[in-house]
A and B are shown apart, each in its own frame.
Chain A
Amino acid sequence: MLLRTEADFNDISPELRKKLEERVKGFGKTVRYKFDISSENPDPQKHDGKVIWPNQYILDPATFYIQDTLEKREGKSKSKRIGLILETDYENGHLKIKKYDKIKVDGKYKGVFTLQLEEIPEHFEYALYLEMHPKLTGGDFADKSKRQMISRIDEKAAATEARKVRSDRKKALDAVEGMSDKQLIDFADAMMWDSSQDPNVLRNLAEELAETDPVYFNDKVEGKTVEYQAAVKQALNKQVIMFDPADRSFSYASNKQKIVILPPISGKNEVEQFAEWIQVGGSKEKAVYEQIKTLIK
Chain B
Amino acid sequence: MAVTQGTLNKAFVSAIDFLDQRDIDPSIYDQSRDRAFTDIMKIVNRTKPATMFNYHNFVNNDVYEVGTISAVTSTGLAQIQFTINTASTFPRVGDLIKTSNSNNVGRQGRVQAVTFGSGTATLTVRSVGGNSAPLYATVNDTVQFGSNAQAEKSTAPANRRYGLTKYYNQIQIFREVDDITDVQKVAKIEVNVGGDYHILPYQILEKAIKMKGDISVQMLCGTQSTTSFGDSNPFLADPTSGLPIQTTGGLDWYVTTYGISDQASVLGTFGFTELDEIIDNFIANKAPTDHMVFMGSRAYRIISKFLKQLGSSSVDSRRLSVDGKTFDWNVEHLSYGGYEFDFVHVPIFDHPQLFSATLVADVNGSLYFVPKDNVDTVDNGRQPRIQIRYTATPFMGSSANTSANGMVREWRTGALAEVPTSSEMVLHTDWETAQGLECIAVKHFQKYRIV
Q: How far is the CB of B254 from chain A (nearest CB, A)?
A: 11
- Contact between A119 and B140 (Cβ–Cβ < 8 Å)? yes
Given A48-B166, A120-B139: A98 and B273 within 8 A (CB)?
A: yes
- Contact between B443 and A55 (Cβ–Cβ < 8 Å)? yes
Residues in A whose Cβ lies below 8 Å from that of B266: 62-63, 100
- Contact between A42 and B256 (Cβ–Cβ < 8 Å)? no
- Within 8 Å of chain A (Cβ to Cβ): is B47? no
- Within 8 Å of chain B (Cβ to Cβ): is A108? yes
Stretch at the interface among B32-40, B224-232, B375-383: B224-232
- Within 8 Å of chain B (Cβ to Cβ): is A264? no
* B-facing residues in A35-57 (Cβ within 8 Å): 39-40, 42-45, 47-48, 52, 54-57
Residues in B whose Cβ lies below 8 Å from that of A123: 140
- Within 8 Å of chain B (Cβ to Cβ): is A91? yes
* Residue from the list B139, B226, B257, B263 in contact with A119, Cβ < 8 A: B139
* A-facing residues in B225-272 (Cβ within 8 Å): 226, 228, 230, 249, 256-267
- Contact between B168 and A42 (Cβ–Cβ < 8 Å)? yes
Residues in A whose Cβ lies below 8 Å from that of B70: 114, 116
Give how many A residues have a beta carbon under 8 Å from the other chain's beta carbons: 32
Residues in B whose Cβ lies below 8 Å from that of A179: none
Bound: A116/B260 CA distance, A: 26
- Within 8 Å of chain A (Cβ to Cβ): is B421? no
- Contact between B260 and A55 (Cβ–Cβ < 8 Å)? yes
Please, which residue of chain A has its CB at the minimum distance from the CB of B442? A55
* Residue from the list A42, A102, A108 in contact with B226, Cβ < 8 A: A42
Residues in B whose Cβ lies below 8 Å from that of A52: 257-258
Q: How far is the CB of A83 from chain B (nearest CB, A)?
A: 6
- Contact between B257 and A39 (Cβ–Cβ < 8 Å)? yes
- Contact between B273 and A58 (Cβ–Cβ < 8 Å)? no
Bound: A109/B262 CA distance, A: 18
- Contact between B139 and A54 (Cβ–Cβ < 8 Å)? no
- Within 8 Å of chain B (Cβ to Cβ): is A72? no
- Within 8 Å of chain B (Cβ to Cβ): is A170? no
Given A63-B266, A91-B311: A44 and B228 within 8 A (CB)?
A: yes
* B-facing residues in A87-115 (Cβ within 8 Å): 91, 97-100, 102, 108-109, 114
- Within 8 Å of chain A (Cβ to Cβ): is B284? yes
Please, which residue of chain B has its CB at the minimum distance from the CB of A119? B139
Bound: A99/B138 CA distance, A: 26
* Residue from the list B138, B261, B273 in contact with A54, Cβ < 8 A: B261
Please, which residue of chain B has its CB at the minimum distance from the CB of A55? B443
- Within 8 Å of chain A (Cβ to Cβ): is B87? yes
Bound: A47/B264 CA distance, A: 34
Residues in B whose Cβ lies below 8 Å from that of A109: 85, 87
- Contact between A116 and B140 (Cβ–Cβ < 8 Å)? yes
Bound: A255/B120 CA distance, A: 73
Given A63-B265, A100-B265, A102-B265: A47 and B166 within 8 A (CB)?
A: yes
Bound: A56/B165 CA distance, A: 16
* A-facing residues in B49-77 (Cβ within 8 Å): 54, 56, 70
- Within 8 Å of chain A (Cβ to Cβ): is B27? no
Contact with A along B72-92 (1 / 0, CB 8 A): 000000000000010100000
Bound: A40/B256 CA distance, A: 14
Bound: A62/B56 CA distance, A: 35
* Residue from the list A58, A62, A98, A120 in contact with B140, Cβ < 8 A: A120
Residues in A whose Cβ lies below 8 Å from that of B257: 39, 52, 54
Bound: A108/B68 CA distance, A: 12
- Within 8 Å of chain A (Cβ to Cβ): is B285? yes
- Contact between B87 and A108 (Cβ–Cβ < 8 Å)? yes
Given A116-B140, A119-B140: A44 and B258 within 8 A (CB)?
A: no
Interface residues of chain B, those whose CB is within 8 Å of chain A, are: 54, 56, 70, 85, 87, 138-140, 165-170, 224, 226, 228, 230, 249, 256-267, 273, 281, 284-285, 311, 443, 449
CB-based closest 4 A-B pairs:
A100-B265, A62-B265, A108-B87, A47-B166
Known contacts A54-B258, A98-B273, A119-B138, then 16 further A-B pairs from the complex at CB < 8 Å, ordered by chain A residue: A42-B226, A43-B56, A43-B168, A44-B228, A45-B166, A47-B165, A54-B259, A55-B260, A56-B284, A58-B263, A62-B263, A62-B265, A99-B273, A100-B265, A109-B87, A119-B139
21 A-B residue pairings within 8 Å (CB atoms): A39-B257, A43-B56, A44-B230, A45-B166, A47-B165, A47-B166, A52-B257, A54-B257, A55-B258, A55-B285, A56-B285, A57-B261, A58-B262, A60-B263, A61-B263, A62-B265, A102-B262, A102-B265, A108-B87, A109-B85, A114-B70
